[in-house]
Amino acid sequence: MCIILSIERIHRTKFNNFIKDIINENLKIKNIFDIKPKNTHLKYEIFAEMISALFSFSIWLYYFLFIMVTILLKFL
């Protein structure tokens, strides 16, 4: 679940930067088809985003529900 959230954050940042370039009329042809999920100079950007995604409320809620259902099924 963290990997999905981290990839979504990376692509959302890339999309927002693309839209800002369009609005500011600063768009370059090479950036139109740039779909690599790299927004920073970090070598392991997805790993860094996964670590930050661990602090998201939605992740904790998902894992809490997963653990509760697992415990419930174990005792049934």
- The domain limits of the chain are 2-74
> Each residue's pLDDT tens digit in the chain (76 positions)?
777 888 888 888 888 988 898 899 888 877 777 766 666 666 677 788 888 888 888 788 888 999 999 999 998 8
pLDDT at 69: 95
pLDDT at 18: 85
Q: What is the pTM of this model?
A: 0.61
pLDDT at 37: 60
pLDDT at 40: 63
C-alpha distances in Å from residue 8, one per residue of 13, 15, 17, 34: 9, 10, 14, 16
Q: Are 21 and 27 in contact (CB under 8 A)?
A: yes
Q: Which residues fall within 8 angstroms of residue 56, CB to CB, at 6 or more apart?
A: 5
